[in-house]
Amino acid sequence: MRIDVVSIFPEYLAPLELSLIGKARQDGLLELNVHDLRTFTTDKHRTVDDTPYGGGAGMVMKPEPWAQALESIAASQMPANSQDEPTKKPVLIVPSPAGERFNQALAYELAEEEQLVFACGRYEGIDERVIEWADEHFTVRPVSLGDYVLNGGEVAVLAMVEAIGRLLPGVVGNPESLVEESHSDGLLEYPVYTKPSSWRDREVPAVLLSGNHGKIAQWRRHEQYRRTAERRPDLLPEFDAGRLTRADRSAFGELGYDVVDGQLRRRPDGDLPA
């Protein structure tokens, strides 16, 4: 995969040289280029912003430096398929609190792409005409990390590149660890423990020391249900409950959820399990 990031603070992206993502770049699994938006300005002061039409607080990013930056990225060919079939449009991700929500499903979807470009806005955002114009060269997706406001897209790009990059083949040493983690099946992860088995008068749950792999798997599954019901009940209506065992249904029953047409349904408060 190739990733290009455009920012007025390229140094913000330096952590992508570390750890798993840094290693993936060294190993050639990921090509990542960071571009300074100001190198695409033409005035002496390298201006990237101006006052908003219609008035209001803050500044807006000028369109022309963005057009120059994005055109230069679109024109730089992917070395692998420069003479092959017409290449797929790269995806242009515009980090913004006004975008669609980023989640694990979107990370998996974007991990399938050949080329991603991230356009980090600052101030009040980028002139909207850039977003419209860009679909000539790119599939444009405004994306948000969550319902809060950051000062710019850079921190969001760090999060998204890490979430996407770790899904690329060969980046995470043991691909098994991708299967059991939070959100891979629409539930939160079960709690984990290591040695010593007794620590400051707290014991590791006995089932984990039992050696009974069936029981351990069931306990972990039911801990996932309990945690998700407690911390993220909003995830449960999306969970595919069609293939749950009787024991699984009964675990959800004790948490106040029934299975109706393969979907979990919260029982009205106070009702007893059916």
Interface with ligand 6GU (CB under 6 A) = 95-97, 143-146, 148-150, 152-153, 156
Minimum distance between the CB of residue 123 and ligand 6GU, rounded to whole angstroms?
10
Closest CA to 184 of 166, 170, 171, 161: 166
- CA atoms of 120 and 144, how far apart (whole Å): 12
Smallest distance from the beta carbon of 147 to ligand 6GU, in angstroms? 7
- Tell the smallest beta-carbon distance from residue 239 to ligand 6GU (Å): 25
Query: How do beta strands 139-144 and 91-101 pair?
Result: parallel
Spell out the residues 6+ positions from residue 29 whose beta carbon is closer than 8 angstroms to its own. 1, 168, 169, 170, 171
Which is nearer to ligand 6GU, 143 or 255 (by Cβ)? Answer: 143
Compute the least distance from the CB of residue 183 to ligand 6GU, in Å.
Answer: 17
Distance separating alpha carbons of residues 272 and 179, to the nearest angstrom: 34
